[in-house]
Structure 1
């Protein structure tokens, strides 16, 4: 495709995610932990608008402290754009406008959604014509959650979470999210998990924890049954997140008392995800929380991954 045939700007929307199940293996020599997780993309989105430019730049808008979002190569969206340019041998740049709705450092993959959206937007803006498979390969080089933000829906992730297999999920699952004004460092949560396991007596040569996603999780998703899914929610990072931020456990318990089926820390936290029986139940939980001064968001899943908007 010639440059003349490409659009002047491209608007892409990508979803945040909840890990409805997250099993974490022991830390490996490379510093990473093997994972077995089930992602669900939910209706809380990041919007990325890519415009033609001679160089690379980023602006960020939305309900976010600008100091918490880097505007240089530390930003995953910037790295995604430059990675695609290098892979396509493209010598121009792009001006990226990121409109954030997913909490920063909230355990919902907002930065990964930005990166996935940037890949799709720049591919269309520059007319590189990369296949979905090739975009997935580039996404995997950027971070464990980026490939899932590209595809969306519900999926089992293994390895570092970037090896995806779609999981059938019927119907709709309704979640109430209790967000936090203060983010939580993912490396800090993993480090605390290692410390907790060490205190509990785990040895370096012990066999790693089982990383099989329980069949009950997949059955509940396939059946579209929120009550069954609630019984299977699990996150190996939860105790570490609670240890670093004790108030998170109280928020989770508060949400359950308000009528949620069950709650879970989303990813590495600090966002609390409360699974509800149906949309009406979610609205009730949100109203109860509001009466006690707790702000929350009502989202649902699964939803598609990064998509170009007209």
Structure 2
């Protein structure tokens, strides 16, 4: 097959076609604000863009989870701070009840207040957030404790389960963010059992047993040290989650910048490209129009 177009004409058409593509591309970038709006615009960048978008979605989900965990941990930290204050009050009442000037009636009154404080502490152990019991472990639909003064002990058995609750951090590591009410208030180690120490003082006050009251003060001091340590756990978790949220926010900014580098157009550069391409396009057409279009038959006339 004989090609009817001369090499010069073919080169001209290729040049004009290329300039038209550059004009269209620059115009599209200016109107859409994007330099990569379809895979064909830059096939080698598509994979990187997809990976960045997936990382952005992951980071967004991690941040949303951390926001929920922050609410939970902030609540738990506040509960533990209240529990520490309550135990301090119980120890004060115990010190009052241990004095020689106290009689049975006065100790009965103190015992009533200690009982009220134990009831309040059980309420703290049953704290719920968004419909779930914070200290019930993974079985968070059930209240950890039910107070029954006729039972021994009155706090009963722990109704929750172990806790495996962890927060996934932006760097991929995991942070334990929860402990159970059993760990916090009802440890199997007698020296760490807050409920047991408080109830022992209550019973000693009701029994008007000064020696038992004095003994319970030592147990309360040990339990207080333990409770302070548990409070610190949530303080550390608060700090860690706050730092993780900051990290997630910084990652979000960085990922958006990386996506923008690939996807978003440089409008100033696109305008310049459009102007230059149009200039060269018009110049090419003008130059082509000035070429004599004579044939052999014109010379034979």
TM-score class normalised by the smaller sequence = under 0.3
- TM-score, normalising length: structure 2: 0.23
Hey, which of these two has a bigger chunk of strand by percent? 1
- TM-score, normalising length: structure 1: 0.22
State which structure, 1 or 2, has the greater radius of gyration over its C-alpha atoms. 2
Hey, which of these two has a bigger chunk of helix by percent? 2
